[in-house]
Amino acid sequence: MSEMIKEREVEREVEIKIDDVCMSFKDNNSNDVQALNRINLAIKKGEFIALLGPSGCGKTTLLRTIADLLEPTSGKVRISGMTPKEIRLQQKFGIVFQNPVLFEWRTVKKNVELPLEIMYWSKVERKKQADRMLELVGLTKFADHYPKQLSGGMQQRVGIARAFGIKPNILLMDEPFSALDEFTKEKLHDDLLKIWRETNKTVIFVTHNIQEAVYLSDKVCVLSPHPGRLSAVVEIDLPRPRTIGMKDSIQFTELVAKVRNSFEGGSL
Amino acid sequence: MIKRKKNIFIRFFRNPKVQPFLSVILPVALGVLVFALWQTQILHKILGTDTFTLPLPSQINRIIGDNLPKIMLNVKATVLVAVIGLAIGSFIGYLIAVLATVFPRWGAGGLSIVAAFNAIPIVALAPVMTNWTKDVSSDASVRSMVAKVLVVMIVSIATMSVNAYRGLNNLPEFSLDLMKSYAAKKRVVFFKLRLPNSVPYIFTALRVGVPSSVISAIVSEYFAEYITGVGRQIRENIVIAQYATAWTYIAVACLIGISMYCILMMFEGILLRNRK
């Protein structure tokens, strides 16, 4: 099984290349704080990558650097040979944040259509795509509801529909499920994997939850804090499609232990 | 079981279904109580006054009935000043907020200056405006109208610009990042995010602006050249010691403020019904 996965991976081309990326901020006492220290990472097309670490390890900073929401102090990020800015201006990023960021004055459907409006899709195409995406996340019935009428899990699902709706090359997710309860989270994990399988996008998923990282991804990039650095990349060779039952398997438990032990400065 | 029964009174008041009802009932009950004390002249005994200085509600009611056409003429003049001043002032205030948002470097400082206008007392502003506008027109009614509208306008500008600026800039967390990730131009961010986000703040400004526009209109009528409006009638009748008529106009002024506020609440309820 693991050989099969390896074979598949050889065929994939590297899509995102992160070269020696450093990032430093000034803190309140104007001391330099190193958020990221020489990060090197290659991400292949269609891969599901988890950036895992405790708070303050720079995982969100790294994600924002890839998204061109932040510029690295030194080093560079290349996506299919282009800069993150070029990719952003081509509108090839789909982003999901910690909270759903829905516009409360728009219906669910209009929220999904928002980026498509900005990208000058025709009205008919917008409608078609929004309907399709809402069906994918199982919210067809709620298309004409307003965000305040939806639960937190449903709102985050709308956010995911909106992100996948623009047909991005790369999907960036910044702790999207951290505010949700465990039951909703598990449901959304499987929904996300289903959409990912159907659309085959590259996904970078930031999380501080080890189980979540192992369950979802092909590779877990373990980041350690002070300064933020990449301490290990753990290959997750659990078969796909993943099912909830796998969380009870020995293989899963071992992988979780392996990831946990790869944090520098001892296990958490 | 016993404990439950003991708390039934408290539980009734804390019931979320009862509370909105209570928030209407209690103020109305207080109002009715005051009216009852007033009409039975108990209030006069408490305040040590008489029905000549403080006429009875029934008397005020009768005067309103007898002079309705004349009162309506004055109401029309006052409402016209308040509404026109509020509309123009709020529009200019919103434009200032937009400018402050588009040019953030000058925005914050400029806005503080505009906000300082809020501190100018209307009583000081009104005579100055009357003096300034004395050459605007040869018609005294037009001159006075311009002066009064200007006073209301200046008061409204400050309230609207400060609130609208908040609405245009207090954006939901990550919403600017989201727009940036779509490579949205500034113009698109303005029309799709900032503008709709500012709508509830416009209503916040109007909640303050509506009552203050009525007050400004009434006070500016005191100093205006042309003798018309509810405020002017209050003054004229006090001067000639017609307290009953003066009180009638005070009551009418209250009714104007309350009805304009109710109309605003209605619009707000309709336009913001889908928001948090």
B56-98: pLDDT as tens digits: 999 999 999 999 999 999 999 999 999 999 999 999 999 999 9
How much is the mean pLDDT over chain B?
Answer: 89
Burial B124-145 (b: 16+ CB within 10 A, else e): ebbeebbeebeeeeeeeeebbb
**Residue A267 pLDDT > 50, yes or no?**
no
**Residue A1 pLDDT > 50, yes or no?**
no
* Count of domains for chain B: 2
* B40 and B106 share one domain: no
Among chain B residues, CA nearest to A114: B192
Q: What is the CATH number of the domain that holds B169?
A: 1.10.3720.10
Q: How far is A70 from chain B (nearest CA, A)?
A: 10
How much is the mean pLDDT over chain A?
Answer: 89
Burial B28-51 (b: 16+ CB within 10 A, else e): eeeeeeeeeebeeeebbeeeeeee
By DSSP bridging, strand A219-224 and strand A229-235 are antiparallel
Assign A77 to helix, strand or coil: strand
Contacts of B172 in chain A (CB under 8 A): 101, 103
Distance CA A23, CA A59 (A): 11
Per-position DSSP letters for B58-87, written without gaps between them: HHHHHHHHHTHHHHHHHHHHHHHHHHHHHH
Q: Which residues of B touch A (CB under 8 A)?
A: 172-175, 177-184, 188, 192-193, 196-197, 199, 274-276
Evaluate whether B78 touches B230 at the Cβ level (below 8 Å): yes
* B90 and B123 share one domain: yes
pLDDT value, residue B27: 87
Domain boundaries, position B114: 57-271
Do the Cβ atoms of B182 and A67 come within 8 Å? no
| Last residue of one domain, picked from the residues B47, B66, B81 | B47
* B243 and B114 share one domain: yes
pLDDT band at A4 (very low <50, low <70, confident <90, very high): low
* Percent of chain A whose pLDDT exceeds 70: 94
B36 is a domain residue = yes
B52 is a domain residue = no
Number of A:B CB contacts under 8 A? Answer: 58
Do the Cβ atoms of A114 and B192 come within 8 Å? yes
User: Which tops the pLDDT comparison, A193 or B14?
Assistant: A193
Residue ranges matching CATH 3.40.50.300 in chain A? 2-92+170-261
pLDDT value, residue A189: 93
Q: Quick one: tokens of A234?
A: 């753990």
Residue with tokens 């950036």: A51
* B109 and B192 share one domain: yes
**Residue B154 pLDDT > 80, yes or no?**
yes
* B61 and B43 share one domain: no
Contacts of A88 in chain B (CB under 8 A): 180-181, 183
**Residue A181 pLDDT > 90, yes or no?**
no
Distance CA A106, CA A145 (A): 9
* B43 and B61 share one domain: no
Contacts of A92 in chain B (CB under 8 A): none
**Residue B129 pLDDT > 90, yes or no?**
no
Assign A28 to helix, strand or coil: coil
Hey, is the C-beta of A82 within 8 angstroms of any chain B C-beta?
A: no
Among chain B residues, CA nearest to A65: B181
The sheet with strand A219-224 has its strands ordered as A93-96, A170-174, A202-207, A48-52, A219-224, A229-235
Q: What share of chain A is helix, strand, coil (3-state, %, to 5)?
A: 40, 25, 35
Do the Cβ atoms of B183 and A103 come within 8 Å? no
* B142 and B43 share one domain: no
Q: How far is A188 from chain B (nearest CA, A)?
A: 21
Q: How many helices (H) and strands (E) does chain A have?
A: 9, 9
* B129 and B184 share one domain: yes
**Residue A172 pLDDT > 90, yes or no?**
yes
Residue ranges in chain B assigned as alpha helix (H): 2-6, 8-14, 19-39, 42-47, 57-66, 68-102, 104-116, 122-132, 140-169, 175-181, 186-189, 195-223, 230-239, 243-271
* B69 and B39 share one domain: no
Adjacent-strand bridge partners of A17: A42, A78
pLDDT value, residue A3: 52
Q: How far is B145 from chain A (nearest CA, A)?
A: 39
Residue with tokens 């928001």: B275
Residue with tokens 């008397």: B59
* Percent of chain B whose pLDDT exceeds 90: 62
Q: How far is B98 from chain A (nearest CA, A)?
A: 20
Distance CA A15, CA A47 (A): 9
Q: What is the DSSP letter of A224?
A: E
* B34 and B105 share one domain: no
pLDDT value, residue B160: 94
Residue with tokens 């948002």: B101
Distance CA B203, CA B210 (A): 10
> In CATH, which of 1.10.3720.10, 3.30.70.260, 3.40.50.300, 3.10.129.10 is domain A2-92+170-261?
3.40.50.300
Do the Cβ atoms of A103 and B196 come within 8 Å? yes
Q: What is the DSSP letter of B172?
A: P
pLDDT value, residue B126: 86
Distance CA B196, CA B190 (A): 9
* B221 and B87 share one domain: yes
B249 is a domain residue = yes
A241 CB-near residues (< 8 Å, 6+ apart): A193, A194, A197
* B101 and B145 share one domain: yes
